[in-house]
Structure 1
């Protein structure tokens, strides 16, 4: 995965939040499905969930950053998650100083 793609995948705060949730599944606002993986239905709702399902999750899945099980609506780390994890962690530290976009 090239650098431009990495930055593009992390450009939107919604995608960063979902990916960070995969790292920290112990956070109080994250709900993990019985079979493992982040439970989208139980964790997100309304417009946020709609944007995730129609825009952000397909993009992350297309690049194999996540594996999205549409039957259970859960996500797990994909084969390319490691390619963006370090950059994701750096962006996590910077998000407090950068306007949401």
Structure 2
């Protein structure tokens, strides 16, 4: 998860969602309006809103140990944490 290049992944798209899954829609809206802007403000990610792309930011390595710990222990965490 942490060692791959996010540019190799498909683009994240958060616009014009047509779905009956209201939980998924709520999560995408929350991500676009709350989480991604904050992560970008802290420098953890770079977010290209026009192309719907997220890449690692200049301070990503500051949170890498936390993300690695979460990944290593994901089976021990509550389901709604991931």
- Structure label with greater radius of gyration: 2
Match for residue 75 of structure 1 among 26, 46, 54: 54
Unmatched segments (≥5 aa) in structure 2? 18-23
Match for residue 13 of structure 2 among 17, 33, 41: 41
DSSP-derived class of the 2:30 partner:
helix
TM-aligned CA deviation for residue 46 of structure 1: 2.1
- Distance (whole Å) between structure 2 residues aligned to residue 93 and residue 51 of structure 1: 26
After TM superposition, the score normalised by the length of structure 2 is: 0.69
Would you say how many aligned residue pairs link Structure 1 and Structure 2? 71
Unmatched segments (≥5 aa) in structure 1? 1-19, 33-38
Query: Residue 16 of structure 1 aligns with which residue?
Result: none
After TM superposition, the score normalised by the length of structure 1 is: 0.58
Shift of the 23–59 alpha-carbon distance from structure 1 to 2, 3 Å rule, reads farther
- Distance (whole Å) between structure 2 residues aligned to residue 23 and residue 51 of structure 1: 26
Deviations 1:30-68 (A, max 9, x none): 942xxxxxx2118x9622211110111011001000000
Deviations 1:51-95 (A, max 9, x none): 110111011001000000111111110000011112211111112
Cα contact 1:40–1:49 (8 A) shared by 2: no
